[in-house]
Chains A and B, each alone.
Chain A
């Protein structure tokens, strides 16, 4: 073991009191090696599942009973339909691949930036194994259809609880404990970004996942809940509010899980790899605080022109525009750090990964504000453009920053040179070409579909009235995506091989250097406040000039808890400004008298719709855009969703909108379409659901579902709540089954899941025209026209 002295800074700007005793310590790099291994493993899994879902769109017969039936000998196709695999892909890419990567980055850099070993090796192990267990449980539950149906928050309540414990209790305590026992007086900018990540992700996770678990409702109501229903829950929010909370979460998961920790990663690993000082300390302060404060407002831009109130939409758009420069602050600081080092970039693949990663960050954070502009969003929302946008970010920014970090870390962690520099260089080029093929083809697909949806011909009719035409047009581009994705995956495999071979050539025992540094003394005297540089004799001017010199920030940097409190205030205040009005202003959601709760059978069908992941391809939200109402019918009103726990508005139309699908086809059509869509629409990409025609509906669990909804405030009549739900459900199922038979459909389906699904689908969007009762007819007229109150009223 060797003893090394840490680099002492030149002259300290402040004065330490009694210098603490010299302490000797070493770093825990084993935990970093563990996270590095997990990053690679889950990266391969996430990208492989991504490739499978991409293939499912290019070859719809793949993994479908109607196509390659022999595959069903290996796996049950209902587990691997697009609607169940797509959340597995997104969760694996975000929380498993990117998640383990940021943990590796944080555990490696925090120890060195604090001159301290992590607070607790045991907490680190609990964090690691806890997180991997969460990932494995996600990989098991999502294919089984156990899902909350909120994008990137699909995992059900038991896993959500585990995430909260691991994130706050293990990771958070370990990180902040390390800050407390640090031997470096001030915190470097990377640590600020880690703080923002930990605090904000905890807040987002908790408040978006407030649900009523079926077992708790069952326990209160004296019902037994068994099987997969033990994991089932429904959000406490409904409709507009649920949508708002989801996208407050969803957008900021991008901000505080995929942006801030990666900026922290960049601030540590880029100057290390380039061996250059960071371009501007001042810029890092300004862009950190503006980013943290502004990002949190931008969520509503995911819901432009939906039933969300217009004021929220406007806030979402404007704060997204204001976010452009704070985001670019990070890009500028990254790219300008490389000034004078470009010759190194040309020869070092690690720096190449960083440069391309940061460039994609810059492009994505320009594109994000652009897509948030309402009129542009009207074209791009629900199309593949969004998919291209997130993959520019995920493959370019998150992926390439991770790869750069992994290659820089490998020789240091495994204490032997990287196995193959050539393979690293090849990975860079394969990955870059892969991203370019992916995003260009999917931009083209998004634009094509968006323009086809809104195209009218000269006679005033939709140019492509048949939805499937707008899908078939994309298939060639889906093939290019498959090629691009394959290249990227091959690069990932090469990375795994390269780092695996490096690991294989590690020394028998790792050298663990011991460092020496003084403990922080209790007393610290900040440097004197700077004077004003102005010659004006206005006191305020002098004060302002002193303030903008930023001495106070330097004081914050040595006070982690104060810093953390200010970060929390920034994100919480911004959140409350939007959340409070969304929940409290009644006029945001005008009620519609004819909108009634789902019947017990329809409710059971709704839960099947959720379990199958239908929301991944079908929206239930028609915007007040002429081409859209021509295609799908009357635009959706906020009052139509007041009993939807959770909301099912969706974010992508791989298939058509279903907000008003009720009554548009016969029961027979719906059943045959579920059995195999290609019986009716030969070019359809939709998976087949033959199991819904075979599996029995669990009528016994319906009462518990209804009672749980009633606990959440859905007004079910006394008779339904007091044990009538199952009887009502059976009666409705019998009725639909006999109608189905009379239409020439399959006999004997009354007890099957398909009937509940048909009941739900046939109900969608029909309440708005439902009669309310003769004496209430005038009230109905008022209510159904409530979506047409004077325009200015609605705009606010």
Chain B
């Protein structure tokens, strides 16, 4: 490296010259660092400068939080666009119960949040059986919404007000109502009292 004869000089065999030093028999060649290595290193530095300018300085980029909010708006429009904000009254709950698409969405919410205690098919594990005609706290359709929202049975049924949006709780109530009369695989014994069938409309 220090003498001109080392710099870029190649022995007749085409091999770069050896450095003069030697450690425990180990020698080193005076090969230059590869050009593509420099190119990619500089490219990564250049990219970093551009990325910082684009992401943190320019208005062209959007943050993960922007994207999340956009998804929220977009998803609401896609799922609930035709209905807008839903109210937990009997006609709305019946209407949702008859809407196949809404019941598919609600089924997903049920699987993710409720099935841990009530079982995927609603037959109940350590949460009550939702498929029979017996109910502990519920007398009418809106009561289902209220139980989901505020919880019941000394907290055995948690309150979901802060965890699931209102529209979702409405269609979830409809979905739970729709489970009545289905035949689960392994059902928990009936609890509470028999209540009249849901109104038709």
Contacts and interface: CB of A to CB of B under 8 A. Distances in A.
A9 B163 contact: no
B71 interface: yes
Nearest to B108: A461
Given A7-B25, A664-B158, 14 more contacts: A9-B21, A113-B24, A278-B28, A282-B1, A282-B30, A282-B31, A314-B55, A328-B37, A457-B104, A460-B79, A549-B2, A550-B1, A666-B127, A680-B126
Contacts of A583: none
Nearest to B39: A325
Interface stretch (B90-98, B110-118, B137-145, B176-184): B110-118
B64 interface: yes
Contacts of A329: 33, 37
Contacts of A792: 59, 63
A345 interface: no
B193 to A, nearest CB: 18
Contacts of A533: 7
A402 to B, nearest CB: 20
B51 interface: yes
B96 to A, nearest CB: 14
Residue among B24, B67, B68 with most chain A CB within 10 A: B24
B155 A281 contact: no
A466 B120 contact: yes
B66 A112 contact: no
Contacts of B48: 318-319, 321-322
Interface string A531-560: 001000000000000000111001000000
B26 A272 contact: yes
Interface string B34-76: 1001001100110110011001100101111111110110010
A43 interface: no
A666 B18 CA distance: 74
A595 to B, nearest CB: 14
A89 interface: no
Given A283-B31, A332-B37, A665 B105 contact: no
A422 to B, nearest CB: 28
B187 interface: no
A769 B156 CA distance: 20
B190 interface: no
A322 B157 CA distance: 52
B2 A626 contact: no
B63 A280 contact: no
Contact of B75 (A268, A322, A626): A626
A281 B67 CA distance: 48
A311 interface: yes
B29 interface: yes
B44 to A, nearest CB: 5
B7 A459 contact: no
A473 interface: no
A660 interface: yes
Interface of B: 1-4, 7, 18-34, 37, 40-41, 44-45, 47-48, 51-52, 55-56, 59, 61-69, 71-72, 75, 78-79, 101, 104-105, 107-109, 111-113, 115-117, 120, 125-127, 153-159, 162-163
B116 A665 contact: yes
Contacts of B41: 290, 322, 325-326
A794 B56 CA distance: 10
Residue among A284, A459, A549 with most chain B CB within 10 A: A459
Interface residues of A, number: 91
A280 B2 contact: no
A792 B57 CA distance: 9
Given A277-B18, A321-B48, A324-B40, A271 B26 contact: yes
Contacts of A112: 23-24
Contacts of B59: 792
Given A188-B23, A286-B33, A626 B116 contact: no
Contacts of A127: none
A55 to B, nearest CB: 26
B77 to A, nearest CB: 10
- Sorted nearest first, the 5 A-B pairs with minimum C-beta distance are A461-B108, A465-B112, A743-B156, A280-B31, A277-B27
Nearest to B7: A533
A278 B21 contact: no
A667 interface: yes
B56 A325 contact: no
A361 to B, nearest CB: 15
Contacts of B115: 466
A343 interface: no
Residue among B29, B32, B79 with most chain A CB within 10 A: B29
Contacts of B163: 633, 660, 663-664
B107 A461 contact: yes
26 contacts: A6-B24, A7-B22, A13-B3, A272-B24, A277-B27, A277-B29, A279-B31, A280-B29, A283-B31, A311-B56, A318-B51, A322-B41, A324-B40, A326-B41, A459-B108, A461-B109, A530-B1, A626-B68, A626-B75, A663-B159, A664-B163, A665-B116, A665-B117, A743-B154, A791-B63, A791-B65
Contacts of B109: 461, 465
A596 B24 CA distance: 63
Contacts of B4: 530
A286 B31 CA distance: 12
B30 A280 contact: yes
Contacts of A325: 37, 40-41, 44
Contacts of B3: 13, 527, 530
Contact of B112 (A109, A305, A462): A462
A2 to B, nearest CB: 18
A742 B154 contact: yes
A739 interface: yes
A666 B26 contact: no
A554 B117 contact: no
Interface string A254-290: 0000000000000010011000011111111010001
Contacts of B24: 6-7, 109, 112-113, 115, 188, 268, 272
A727 interface: no
A279 B1 CA distance: 14
Nearest to B61: A795
A307 B107 CA distance: 31
